[in-house]
Structure 1
């Protein structure tokens, strides 16, 4: 922990000081989570401090709500998994949202062997060395609100080498307005579908897929907060899909769609993918068995953009309540 010149560590109580130094002593542990209430309380009172984590053996690091720090530096050669939750804006207890600037926090990462990276919340000013993310295999970016597109661009430039990428539709919609960052190494794309996404799904999804030249699998599932009051009526979705003309999506071979409830917008998205993916070979739908007959009839009535498409219909393995 490094203090600014005008801040004295003597101002902290013994309990807080003990917590600071016990937290930073990570020489002999491989897993560290800074998510406790004590740590979050500490963040509130450390507005002028830098958090520096150095370790020769740390492999798994989880940090939440570090917005009280001016900067967070993570320097470790053996780190494999990094989960970072940034300030959640109006719902953050650690800072004054109205006074907070997007680039107030600087997150510096030097972890050449990082395999998995999760970021949740608005992007901070991200600094990383040239090899910090080149070994990255999996990245998950969710819950982002871009008040500053330059910060978002920094974040996505850093993870452009990943093979498995997981996003939510809020992130996709913000990426739609950003410069065309290429994700040429992504093979598996997972999207958490939020409510209302289907209103501009054609432009948003096709725009993002242009950034991915070697995508093999697209996996879709509703996010945890997805709710829609209208029940599934395959006739309405069918009529809407038939009259809508979508842009062709090329290169995508497999689509997997998992849902616990079937609504109009979900059916609309499935229909859009069936009609617009001209190279698709396999579509797998996992859903409650009570929708089986409706889904079968719906898909049979929709034309396919691919002549070699195989569709697998499968209810979820786990038990569910009756629909």
Structure 2
């Protein structure tokens, strides 16, 4: 089938099965265009909890589908591609968390949403890049905080809040490539542009970048919001390049320059229209978190959504 016919069949199946398609900003443009909702991790988690649909087709990586399953245990959650892993989620295990807790009985574990369900089950507070600062400030300076798994986001939070934390040595394989040198070179080349940077980036803890008057750190949703509200006409985008699709759709008169052409998440790009169609048609591939893990993990997620 051609893409136009696949899209038509997806719409038919969505109605037949009372299904909703959720897509992350990093997926292919054609996947975003067929989605009922497009968002970052926090927005997608909220939508998964609010939807009245019976079936959620989650176009993203595996931990995101797990989070949707935990939030909506009575719904069928499908991920339309195999092996959609995440370097951050895979960098830490539940056993790593338990070891830290054993040595820090007074400690509080804050886990970025980019973690497995097993890790969330050992976590006190979950967070996303949208609300990480709020979560840490909510806990305060007197707490012994272990932040996992992203060292760059954790370091950025320490810089912005002055709250010291124990940081796990994990990173996003895409954002880790976004260096201080890269940002400074692009700033020199495009001095009139705002630089919109995801705090998972390698440069997120560097004062040379933090002190640039035209550099802003945001979640993906925040990057899109800034571009829409700004009077500037040119923006350097320092995150996964799939974000350009929504930026250009919403701001046709503005110019968006990706920081580097290889800021691509291979796992996100595994999701395609054919996969969405087959997921809906054959209930492929269902993601279901065991009750024992989900019942523990839900508390940290609920705390995240409440503070967020």
What interval of TM-score do these two structures reach, taking the shorter chain for normalisation? under 0.3
- Using CA pairs under 8 Å that are at least 6 residues apart, name the structure with larger relative contact order, 1 or 2: 2
Task: Tell me the TM-score normalized by structure 2.
Answer: 0.25
Which has more strand, going by share of residues?
1
Task: Tell me the TM-score normalized by structure 1.
Answer: 0.24
